């Protein structure tokens, strides 16, 4: 088996694919991280303060979140990609492991993002849609962009992350699902969609009320997850798994209020796009021929850099940059312009023979790029044009015209190889050595996954007692230690999501209200009258309330803690003086059946609330009154 793995790695390492999917993967990962950072900033006091706005234990949290946001943005645009990926990976680990996010505000996708961040360190993320690619070109501005070959990567850069982060995850999740009655009944996607705490703002009752459709979806998910690891890399099945998986995760984002989880999973699907599709899309987007020729001074470092920058952002390849010294006299439209004038400005020539120069040439360039046409038209505006023309004239008249020497090299730009480049340089030089090295790493990751799947997906589900004797107890401790390492650094963890042990007995939900100055009862902007968690209280805030505070067996101490945090945070948000406000704790009965019930969602939304307790603040000290038999109500 090990020998076959090595041979397979050697075979795949020699095959190349467009770098497009890798670049988009980096971009989307950065965007998902960025939105989550903004979420953390918004709920900073709820998540990180022991008592929101009252006991601020981590005053530097916003600063570090701001630093993280800058790094995530740099990762999005591909600026210093390797460092940005490493820093982003470190921030995920630190925030998840050393703040309340780990215990009380599990986002449901933190470990998944950690695993994805780990693989980003070894992926060629600077090959497409990256500022780094431009920075490297600018090191030698006198090298024409046409001399650079299209970016391509080994298909291992696609296959390995998909195998570890998706295939293993799906298979592990499917094992757990087989022990859940509602999943065996084909209702794995139906049941969460009927629970008020879990649904999005879109009422999916017309779809939920179709039993045949729901069972088709449920069984499709099981077949999809079990078979994914075996067939996803098959050339003719890859598009099928791409389309089905894309539809399933889009459905999660639309149906449930755990959109970060859906978004985090979807970013991996750009790695599943068939390679021929990327080539086809590129061919469709590329202009049949350039629509604008731009003439620039070949001996001017600034002009060459300008040509490289504009070409780099010319997505549709509508521009053709040509040196004045080589090409200008081949065009009759430019013959009337003196040599000095041609070298003095940037000139643009369109397909109709219209010549533009200076700021108007830049306007034409932006317009012909298509997606920047608005900026091109803005340059012609009455107030902006004279200002731009003055600035352009100042730069153009003071530029240097010298052969390339050390002065034309941008300082601070290095071409030190990334981890990925070093790895595949080793493949080229010593392919067998590199293949064995990579195979050993993959085997270790496989052992980590097997530890999780066998211990927690099979033995735990079969109620095998690991503490019967000293040997089993030792093995159990070793397994937990291995899981802790794999979970912390690689995101490998049991994926037992929304199973029977989560929903069995989940027959009540709670909400909080207060009375305004006029004595009218108002609902905190957290859980509404139907029992839905309102936007933007989704993601990890939803998890705090629906998965930790309110569970089939409610822990009063834990529930009281979160009622304290919710009333302090949202009381401040709506402008209440919490020391002068009495909060009522409401309870409503719901049902979470493992068999299909018609219109279950609307039945759960329409139930009646009863007041079961109250919470008050006196001198910023919190107290709550709840019945001790809350689990029997």
- Over residues 286-301, the pLDDT tens digits come to 888 899 998 888 888 8
Q: How confident is the model at residue 69 (pLDDT cuts 50, 70, 90)?
A: very high
Tokens of 66: 């701001």
Say yes or no: 163 and 257 in one domain: yes
Residue 363 has pLDDT above 60, yes or no: yes
Q: Given the structure tokens 């009495």, which residue do they identify?
A: 582
In a domain, 91, yes or no: yes
pLDDT score, position 407: 47
Tokens of 354: 């219209």
- Report the chain's mean pLDDT, rounded to a whole number: 88
pLDDT score, position 518: 82
Q: How confident is the model at residue 457 (pLDDT cuts 50, 70, 90)?
A: confident
Say yes or no: 403 and 344 in one domain: yes
In a domain, 423, yes or no: no
In a domain, 553, yes or no: yes
In a domain, 135, yes or no: yes
Give the three-state DSSP class for 577. coil
Instruction: Tell me the longest C-alpha to C-alpha distance in the chain.
Output: 96
Contact between 140 and 195 under an 8 Å Cβ cutoff? The reply is no
Contact between 15 and 155 under an 8 Å Cβ cutoff? The reply is yes
Total domains in the fold of the chain: 4
Q: What CATH number does residue 318 fall under?
A: 3.40.30.10
pLDDT score, position 459: 78
In a domain, 496, yes or no: no
Contact between 376 and 367 under an 8 Å Cβ cutoff? The reply is yes
Say yes or no: 3 and 75 in one domain: no
What domain range includes position 614?
Answer: 504-632
Give the three-state DSSP class for 367. helix
Instruction: For residues 4 and 23, give the distance between their C-alpha atoms in angstroms, rounded to a whole number.
Output: 30
Arithmetic mean of pLDDT, 479-504 = 86
Q: What is the pTM of this model?
A: 0.90
pLDDT score, position 432: 80
Say yes or no: 401 and 299 in one domain: yes
> Between 595 and 460, whose confidence is greater?
595
Say yes or no: 11 and 28 in one domain: no
Say yes or no: 126 and 100 in one domain: yes
Among residues 113, 147, 181, which one ends one of the domains? 147
In a domain, 420, yes or no: no
Instruction: For residues 348 and 388, give the distance between their C-alpha atoms in angstroms, rounded to a whole number.
Output: 17
pLDDT score, position 368: 94
pLDDT score, position 406: 45
Say yes or no: 483 and 457 in one domain: yes
Give the three-state DSSP class for 73. helix
pLDDT score, position 63: 95
36 contact partners, CB below 8 Å, separation of at least 6: 107, 113, 260, 539
Arithmetic mean of pLDDT, 405-430 = 57
Instruction: For residues 26 and 82, give the distance between their C-alpha atoms in angstroms, rounded to a whole number.
Output: 11
Say yes or no: 13 and 159 in one domain: yes
Residue 404 has pLDDT above 70, yes or no: no
In a domain, 495, yes or no: no
pLDDT score, position 401: 60
Arithmetic mean of pLDDT, 198-223 = 94
Say yes or no: 155 and 172 in one domain: yes
Q: How confident is the model at residue 413 (pLDDT cuts 50, 70, 90)?
A: very low
Say yes or no: 33 and 127 in one domain: yes
Distances from the Cα of 613 to the Cαs of 341, 511, 516, 557, 618, in angstroms? 84, 11, 18, 14, 17
Per this entry, what is the length of the chain? 633
Say yes or no: 116 and 130 in one domain: yes
Say yes or no: 250 and 317 in one domain: no
126 contact partners, CB below 8 Å, separation of at least 6: 78, 81, 82, 132, 133, 136, 418
In a domain, 415, yes or no: no
């Amino acid at each position: 088996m090990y020998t076959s793995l090595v041979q397979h790695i050697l075979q795949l390492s020699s095959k190349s694919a467009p770098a497009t999917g890798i670049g988009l993967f980096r971009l989307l990962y950065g965007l998902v991280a960025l939105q989550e950072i903004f979420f953390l900033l918004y709920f900073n006091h709820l998540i990180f303060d022991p008592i929101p706005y009252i006991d601020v234990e981590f005053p530097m949290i916003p600063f570090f979140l701001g630093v993280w946001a800058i790094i995530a943005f740099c990762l999005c645009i591909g600026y210093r990609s390797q460092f940005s990926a490493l820093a982003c990976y470190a921030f995920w680990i630190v925030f998840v492991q050393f703040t309340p996010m780990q215990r009380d505000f599990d986002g449901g996708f933190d470990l998944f993002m950690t695993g994805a961040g780990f693989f980003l360190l070894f992926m060629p993320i600077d090959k497409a849609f990256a500022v780094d690619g431009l920075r490297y070109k600018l090191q030698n501005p006198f090298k024409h962009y046409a001399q650079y070959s299209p970016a391509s990567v080994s298909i291992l850069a696609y296959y390995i992350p998909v195998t570890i982060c998706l295939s293993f995850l799906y298979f592990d999740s499917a094992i757990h699902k087989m022990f859940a009655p509602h999943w065996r009944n084909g209702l794995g996607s139906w049941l969460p969609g009927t629970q008020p705490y879990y649904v999005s703002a879109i009422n999916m009752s017309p779809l939920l009320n179709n039993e045949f459709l729901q069972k088709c979806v449920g069984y499709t998910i099981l077949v999809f997850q079990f078979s994914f690891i075996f067939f996803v890399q098959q050339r003719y099945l890859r598009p099928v798994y791409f389309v089905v998986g894309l539809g399933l995760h889009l459905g999660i984002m639309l149906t449930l209020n755990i959109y970060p989880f859906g978004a985090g999973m979807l970013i991996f699907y750009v790695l599943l796009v068939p390679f021929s599709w990327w080539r086809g899309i590129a061919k469709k987007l590329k202009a049949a021929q350039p629509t604008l020729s731009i003439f620039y001074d070949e001996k001017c470092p600034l002009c060459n850099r300008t040509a490289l920058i504009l070409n780099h952002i010319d997505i549709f390849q509508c521009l053709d940059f040509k040196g004045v010294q080589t090409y200008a006299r081949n065009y009759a439209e430019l013959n009337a312009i003196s040599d000095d004038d041609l070298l003095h400005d940037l000139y643009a020539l369109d397909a109709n023979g219209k010549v533009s120069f200076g700021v108007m040439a830049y306007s034409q360039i932006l317009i012909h790029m298509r997606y920047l046409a608005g900026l091109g038209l803005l340059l012609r505006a009455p107030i902006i044009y004279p200002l731009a023309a003055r600035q352009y004239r100042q730069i153009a008249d003071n530029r240097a015209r010298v052969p390339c020497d050390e002065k034309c090299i941008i300082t601070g730009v290095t071409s030190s190889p990334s981890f990925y480049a070093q790895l595949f340089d080793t493949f080229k030089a010593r392919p067998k050595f590199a293949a064995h090295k990579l195979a050993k790493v993959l085997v270790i990751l496989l052992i980590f996954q097997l530890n999780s799947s066998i211990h927690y997906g099979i033995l735990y589900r079969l109620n095998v007692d690991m503490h019967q004797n000293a040997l089993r107890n030792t093995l159990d401790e070793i397994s937990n230690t291995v899981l802790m390492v794999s979970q912390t650094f690689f995101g490998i963890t049991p994926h037992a999501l929304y199973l029977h042990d989560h929903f069995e007995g989940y027959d009540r939900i709670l909400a909080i209200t207060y009375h305004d100055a006029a004595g009218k009862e108002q609902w905190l902007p957290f859980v509404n009258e139907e029992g839905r968690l309102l936007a933007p209280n989704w993601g990890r805030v939803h998890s705090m309330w629906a998965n930790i505070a309110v569970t089939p067996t409610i822990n009063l101490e834990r529930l009281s803690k979160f009622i304290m945090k919710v009333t302090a945070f949202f009381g401040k948000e709506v402008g209440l003086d919490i020391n002068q406000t009495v909060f009522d704790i409401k309870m409503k009965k719901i049902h979470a059946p493992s068999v299909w019930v018609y219109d279950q969602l609307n039945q759960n939304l329409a139930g009646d609330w009863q007041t079961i307790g109250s919470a008050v603040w006196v001198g910023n000290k919190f107290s709550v009154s709840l019945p001790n038999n809350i689990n029997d109500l």
